[in-house]
Amino acid sequence: MLEITIFSLLNGTVYGLLLFMLSSGLTLIFSMMGILNFAHASFYMLGAYFGYTISSHIGFWPGLIFAPLIVGVMGALLERYALRHVHKHGHVAELIFTFGLAFLLEELTQFFWGTDQQAYKGPSLLDFPLFTLFDANFPAYKAFMLLISIGIFLGLLLVLTRTRVGLIIQAAITHPNMVNMLGHNVPFVFMATFGVGTALAGLAGTIAGPVMGTYPGMAHDLGSIVFVVVVFGGLGSLAGALVASLMIGIIQTFAVGLNYSVSDFLVTIGVSFPADHFLHDIWTMTLPQVAPLIPYLMLILILIFRPMGLFGTRET
């Protein structure tokens, strides 16, 4: 049990911080544009694919640098030359645009790389167990992911709260016109924030690709969880995104690790049901089997009991 607890906490934190790398960008972009960018996770996917392609030619480390950069530049250009124009036609047009873009990017990925999972590998430098506990290994690569995520989180926090640019971003989110009239180039700040947000998604893909798989459905698989994270944490709230990312990351990882079912629990308190009972399938369903449902369950619960999300200020 202790083993499961320690490893689930560690793995859950790795997964949770990865979710934060995506949800922080998504929620910042939401605060600025007022819409959810459905294509956000597609940039995560592109990060993994670009990382894979670059790493297979010149190695993992250059990929780690260049893949997120390329993705960030793509994001900035997208804001500047597409979204800014679509924005004039209202939120619905923007939503449909990002929705279509997500499909387009998935199709393009399949067109260029095919539908198979890619053999994207982490660096051999980190290909060893960092420590072994109760006969289980904790790979050095995961510790590396953890370090990068924490670094990104601290960097984001510092820039947003301690620098002039961060102040301008914070003010521009709520009062773009006023900040603009004070002489700050708000359209550029928006483009740059969009670029950084997508670059973070790309970075998440670049470092997660080797462990979570690099395949065309990866944007869709993680995208829906990230969507849950930002709604659960409260749309537009960075603190909410952090708490929700860690919660969902850790809860889901625990659920996968705990191989128990309701009937196991009932047996310990002396209740048992015959194997032909009509609810037998439900009693014996194990936690790992329901783990994928947990985020959506949390989404439904928060929408019923606190529709603005944990830290949100507006109704969703």
Partner 1 sequence: MSDVKTPMLDVRDLHAFYGKSHILQGVTFTVGEGEIVSLLGRNGVGRSTTAHAIMGTVDRHGSVLFRGEELINLVPHDIARKGLGIVVENRDIFPTLTVRQNLLLGVKNIRKAGRWSMEDMFELFPNLRERADVMAGVLSGGEQQMLTMCRTLMGDPDLIIIDEPTEGLAPKIVAQVASLLEEIARRGVSILLIEQKLTIALKISHRIYVMGHGHIVFEGVPDDLIHDESIRREWLEV
Q: Return residues touching partner 1 (CB under 8 A).
A: 164, 167-168, 170-171, 174-175, 177-187
Q: Token pair of 299, please?
A: 């989404």
CA 155 vs CA 45, 132, 159: distances in Å: 23, 31, 6
Query: Which CB, 171 or 291, lies closer to partner 1?
Result: 171
Residues in Cβ contact with 11 at an 8 Å cutoff, skipping those fewer than 6 apart: 142, 253
Q: CB–CB of 15/29 below 8 Å?
A: no
Query: Which CB, 139 or 166, lies closer to partner 1?
Result: 166
Q: CA–CA separation, 126 vs 205, rounded Å? A: 18
Q: How far is the CB of 166 from partner 1 (least distance, A)?
A: 10
Query: Going along the chain, which residue ranges are E strands?
Result: 129-133, 136-139
Q: How far is the CB of 183 from partner 1 (least distance, A)?
A: 4
Query: Which CB, 175 or 314, lies closer to partner 1?
Result: 175
Q: How far is the CB of 160 from partner 1 (least distance, A)?
A: 12
Q: How far is the CB of 196 from partner 1 (least distance, A)?
A: 20
Q: Please classify residue 4 by burial: count the beta carbons closer than 10 Å to its beta carbon, then call 0-12 exposed, 13-18 middle and 19+ buried.
A: middle
Q: CA–CA separation, 313 vs 298, rounded Å? A: 19
Query: Which CB, 179 or 228, lies closer to partner 1?
Result: 179
The distance of Cα 37 from the centroid of its chain, to the nearest Å, equals 13
Query: Which CB, 14 or 156, lies closer to partner 1?
Result: 156
Q: How far is the CB of 157 from partner 1 (least distance, A)?
A: 15
Amino acid at 297: L
